[in-house]
């Protein structure tokens, strides 16, 4: 297999790393801005937004996407920050759809703007929506997100269903002593609505660096608590990283867990990320990034960009080490990376 000049990364074939993992899923952050201030992600104020000229333009984002499609990416997630606050998002989605007619394109959103945007986004080419929701109690939702917006999110969810952005997935970050008493309530909600509720372990990716190991509620604890009330059966039907379960009594809805801290799934990770300002990251916890924006703005060819991406992928590390004493938290918060 031919190799690129700067490394031993294969110059053709799929995007592969030295452990044989293939990058087939790209999370594209379209903005670092967010209209929430979730306590486990962002400070209440003071996080400076990137200047507009540092954010990739629609044309730049689409050019990068086209390259990744050529390199074998099969699914993308449009994320942020809060992706729906990027002006004219449906226009960008349409450009993405044209660049990848067969791509699985999903949106990760807090849902606040879906009431008006779900239909245009579906029409432009989004296939599915994942909506974050950490509490079904109005006061707690407001405390966790620092915005009193639960009703708006629920209306957004209904709009997403009507627009056909299904199956709807819900992302719920479980934090010990904050919302872990709601996991059974969320399971009941999944049964009532048919949604797949995915419980995410709390990760050290908050801007304030206030994460505490003691507040991580292991995925298996979540499953045990739900299973005592609503017995579950593994259905193995969902792609990584969530392990998914159906209800034993065949009720609608599903439960997923994303055990990033207690049972990392690095061995089978197929994910890559592009930040809003064009930094390519091969791991959520990566300490190294590869700049694609400056080369693009200096006139790099697609071949040059491909070399940068292949080399970065080849350097992908074995996995993050959250549970190890030498773990170093990345400078960027989840909102700055693109979750």
| Among 31, 75, 132, 290, contact with ligand SAM (rule: CB under 6 A) | 132
Sign of CA dihedral 308, 336, 163, 87: negative
The reply to whether 256 sits near ligand SAM by the rule CB under 6 A is no
Helix, strand, or coil (residue 154): helix
Query: Which value, to the nearest 10 degrees, does the dihedral of the CA atoms of residues 16, 19, 25, 31 take?
Result: -100
Sign of CA dihedral 290, 204, 187, 116: negative
Instruction: Check: CB of residue 72 under 8 Å from CB of residue 24.
Output: yes
Helix, strand, or coil (residue 245): strand
Cα(63)–Cα(297) distance, integer angstroms: 12
CB of 261 to ligand SAM, least distance (A): 9
Cα(31)–Cα(289) distance, integer angstroms: 17
The reply to whether 41 sits near ligand SAM by the rule CB under 6 A is yes
Query: Which residue lies nearest ligand SAM, judged by its C-beta?
Result: 339
CB of 300 to ligand SAM, least distance (A): 28
Q: Pick out residues in 271-290 that bind ligand SAM (CB under 6 A).
A: none
Instruction: Check: CB of residue 135 under 8 Å from CB of residue 101.
Output: no
Question: What is the 3-state composition of the chain as percent helix, strand, coil, each rounded to the nearest 5?
Answer: 35, 20, 50
The reply to whether 196 sits near ligand SAM by the rule CB under 6 A is no
Cα(287)–Cα(320) distance, integer angstroms: 10
The reply to whether 40 sits near ligand SAM by the rule CB under 6 A is yes
Q: Toward ligand SAM, which CB reaches closer, 215 or 315?
A: 215
CB of 23 to ligand SAM, least distance (A): 19
Q: Toward ligand SAM, which CB reaches closer, 174 or 305?
A: 174
CB of 302 to ligand SAM, least distance (A): 28
The reply to whether 149 sits near ligand SAM by the rule CB under 6 A is no
Interface segment toward ligand SAM; rule CB under 6 A; list 8-16, 89-97, 195-203, 274-282? 195-203
Residue 173: its H or E element = strand 169-174
| Among 31, 62, 75, 110, contact with ligand SAM (rule: CB under 6 A) | 110
Interface segment toward ligand SAM; rule CB under 6 A; list 77-85, 152-160, 234-242, 243-251? 77-85
Residues at the interface with ligand SAM (CB under 6 A): 34, 40-41, 79-80, 82, 108-110, 132, 171, 173, 200, 202-203, 205-206, 334-335, 339
């Amino acid at each position: 297999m031919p190799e690129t000049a700067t490394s031993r990364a294969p110059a053709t074939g799929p995007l592969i790393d030295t452990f044989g993992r293939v990058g087939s899923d790209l999370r594209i952050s379209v903005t670092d801005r967010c209209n929430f201030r979730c306590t486990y992600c962002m400070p209440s104020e003071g996080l400076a937004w990137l200047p507009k000229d540092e954010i990739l333009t629609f044309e730049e984002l689409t050019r990068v996407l086209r390259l990744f499609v050529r390199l074998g990416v099969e699914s993308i997630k449009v994320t942020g920050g809060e992706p729906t606050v990027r002006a004219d998002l449906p226009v960008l989605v349409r450009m993405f759809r044209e660049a990848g007619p067969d791509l699985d394109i999903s949106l990760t959103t807090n849902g606040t703007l879906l009431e008006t945007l779900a239909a245009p986004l579906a029409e432009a080419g989004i296939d599915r929506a994942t909506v974050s929701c950490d509490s079904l109690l109005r006061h707690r939702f407001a405390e966790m997100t620092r915005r009193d917006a639960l009703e708006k999110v629920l209306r957004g969810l209904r709009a997403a269903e009507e627009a056909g952005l299904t199956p709807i997935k819900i992302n719920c970050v479980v934090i010990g002593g904050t919302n872990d008493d709601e996991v059974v309530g969320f399971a009941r909600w999944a049964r009532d609505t048919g949604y797949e509720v995915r419980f995410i372990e709390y990760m050290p990716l908050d801007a304030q660096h206030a994460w505490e190991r003691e507040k991580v509620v292991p995925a298996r604890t979540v499953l045990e608590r739900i299973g005592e009330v609503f017995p579950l059966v593994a259905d193995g039907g969902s792609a990584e990283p969530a392990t998914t379960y159906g209800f034993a009594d065949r009720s609608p809805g599903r439960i997923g867990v994303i055990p990033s801290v207690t049972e990392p799934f690095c061995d089978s990770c197929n994910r890559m990320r592009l930040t809003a300002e064009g930094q390519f990251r091969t791991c959520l916890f990566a300490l190294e990034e590869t700049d694609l924006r400056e080369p693009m703005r200096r006139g790099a060819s697609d071949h040059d960009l491909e070399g940068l991406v292949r080399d970065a992928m080849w350097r992908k590390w074995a996995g993050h080490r959250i549970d190890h004493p030498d773990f170093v938290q990345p400078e960027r918060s989840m909102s700055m990376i693109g979750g």
